[in-house]
């Protein structure tokens, strides 16, 4: 996925009662103003921030600080292969929204702002957490996810990863169609209104049917996937200030859909079905039937998105662009943190230039983090232990 977000994310312990660390605030502001001379001298701004932190335990970012901080967080995301585009992030300041209705309306706008074809990276940043105060959040791991249902035979219908979360939504009264690609409702929790569920309108969910350039029977499988990957359960940390609700999107890399979402055994597990349609010998692993089926589903995904006019990258091109990003950062005197296990694509890894080198692992800030509470909510809809909402 060409955004700083993935199935599993680095987590970081966060004390929601603690005030902002003045040292972290100063470090961010000095780097922000050094990289953006147009903002003027930093010392007057530091004096204001120190006074705000001393009086309230936190401070308020200017629009410019918020925007550049979000871009820096993307630049620092060690598990993202698509950081070459970090400067192009569209930052939407949504810090004034408070009610669930307002938040939902702005999330729908976010999906529309991302586009339906030539997608662009967008982040919507809602209110910052205040020390010791409850905050708004979205339970879903992405703004668009498909439901999963456990059948009587034990097999999942839909996304196997979402079975527990779907069951929790049904406990709140939501009823899906019980089909493979039912879009889950958005679950928004606010301090004053508690938990509310919202159905996404059709205009906010662009989907691409998956067909194949050679195999006509692919259309009979009824596969499809949504165009916009929008991570919604990660916390954005900028200069010591935490933004618990800061959903962001980019566009998919083909293998994210073809080699993971549709192929993983705990997701849609389509490889056995494709192998059967191709009449492959599945009696032993040495026939490489999985590899052959995996190649064809990935061809189908890339071809379908291109035919639909929806932006998607292939893993070879994106690996080359990541190398370009490293060269750019080295020229700027910055190291590039990267997690090798995430940067190397999930298929044809050794064909990628990213495979043939190692990378430093650093926890650079600003950054995106997944809190344990957010992970539990996205995984199974369990209540957070602090009782927010």
Domain holding 85: CATH number?
3.90.340.10
What local confidence, expressed as pLDDT, does residue 286 receive? 98
Q: Report whether 97 contacts 106 (CB < 8 A).
A: yes
DSSP letter (8 states) at residue 222: T
Q: How big is the CA angle at 228 (ends 108 and 342), to the nearest 5 degrees? A: 130
340: in domain = yes
Q: Catalytic site residue 32?
A: no
Q: Which residues pair with 186 in a beta bridge?
A: 198
State both tokens at 281: 């010998």
* DSSP secondary structure code for residue 180 in this structure: T
Catalytic residue among 32, 45, 80, 189: 80
Supply the range of the domain harboring residue 301: 22-145+183-351
35 as an active site residue: the answer is no
Q: In the prediction, which pLDDT does 217 show?
A: 98
Q: Is residue 128 part of a domain?
A: yes
Report d(CA 378, CA 131) in Å as an integer. Answer: 24
* 145 within 8 A of 184, measured Cβ to Cβ: yes
Please indicate whether residue 251 is annotated as part of the active site: yes
Query: Is 361 among the domain residues?
Result: no
Sign of CA dihedral 158, 159, 160, 163: negative
In a domain, 172, yes or no: no
Question: Looking at the domain assignment, is residue 12 inside a domain?
Answer: no
The residue length of the chain stands at 389
pTM beyond 0.75: the answer is yes
Q: Please count the structural domains in the chain.
A: 1
Marked catalytic residue, from 45, 75, 79, 83: 83
DSSP H or E segment with residue 255: helix 254-255
From 251, 289, 365, 373, the catalytic residue: 251
pLDDT along the chain (389 residues), means of 10: 44 82 98 98 98 98 98 97 97 98 98 97 98 96 97 91 97 96 98 98 98 98 98 97 98 98 98 98 98 98 98 98 98 96 96 93 93 76 44
Which two three-digit tokens encode residue 193?
Answer: 């209104």
Quick one: pLDDT at residue 372?
72
Which residues are 208's β-sheet partners? 225
**Residue 236 in domain:** yes
pLDDT at position 17 is: 83
Q: Is 14 among the catalytic positions?
A: no
Q: What is the pLDDT of residue 385?
A: 32
Q: Say if 360 falls within a structural domain.
A: no
Provide CB contacts within 8 A for 145, sequence distance 6+.
Answer: 159, 162, 165, 183, 184
Rg of the chain (C-alpha set): 22
**Residue 4: inside a domain, yes or no?**
no
The residue from 141, 189, 256, 296 that is catalytic is 256
């Amino acid at each position: 996925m060409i955004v700083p977000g993935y199935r599993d994310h680095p987590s970081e312990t966060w004390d929601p009662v603690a005030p902002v660390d003045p040292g972290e605030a100063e470090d961010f502001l000095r780097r922000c103003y050094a990289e953006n001379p147009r903002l003027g001298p930093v010392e007057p701004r530091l004096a204001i921030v120190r006074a705000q932190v001393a009086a309230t335990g936190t401070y308020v970012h200017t629009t410019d600080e918020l925007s550049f901080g979000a871009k820096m967080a993307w630049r620092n995301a060690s598990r993202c292969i698509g950081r070459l585009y970090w400067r192009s992030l569209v930052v939407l300041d949504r810090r004034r929204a408070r009610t669930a209705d307002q938040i939902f309306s702005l999330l729908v706008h976010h999906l529309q702002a991302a586009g339906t074809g030539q997608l662009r990276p967008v982040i919507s940043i809602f209110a910052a957490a205040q020390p010791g105060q409850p905050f708004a959040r979205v339970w879903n791991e992405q703004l668009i996810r498909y439901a999963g249902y456990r059948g009587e035979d034990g097999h999942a219908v839909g996304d196997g990863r979402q079975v527990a979360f779907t069951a929790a939504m049904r406990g709140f009264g939501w009823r899906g169609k019980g089909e493979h690609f039912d879009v889950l409702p958005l679950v928004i929790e606010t301090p004053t209104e508690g938990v509310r569920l919202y159905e996404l309108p059709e205009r906010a969910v662009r989907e691409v049917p998956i067909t194949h350039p050679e195999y006509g029977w692919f259309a009979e499988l009824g596969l499809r996937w949504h165009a916009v990957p929008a991570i919604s359960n990660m916390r954005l940390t900028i200069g010591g200030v935490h933004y618990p609700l800061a959903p962001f999107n980019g566009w998919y890399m083909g293998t994210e859909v073809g080699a993971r979402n549709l192929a993983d055994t705990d997701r849609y597990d389509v490889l056995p079905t494709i192998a059967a349609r191709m009449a492959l010998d599945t009696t032993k692993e040495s026939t490489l039937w999985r590899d052959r089926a995996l190649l064809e589903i990935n061809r189908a995904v890339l071809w379908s998105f291109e035919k639909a006019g929806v932006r998607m990258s292939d893993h070879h091109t994106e690996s080359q662009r990541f190398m370009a990003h490293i060269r750019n950062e080295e020229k700027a005197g910055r190291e590039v943190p990267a997690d090798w296990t995430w940067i190397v694509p999930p298929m044809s890894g050794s064909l990628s230039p990213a495979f043939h080198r190692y990378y430093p692992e650093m926890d650079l800030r600003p950054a995106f983090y997944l809190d344990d509470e957010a992970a539990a909510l996205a995984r199974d809809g369990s209540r957070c232990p602090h009782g927010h909402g």
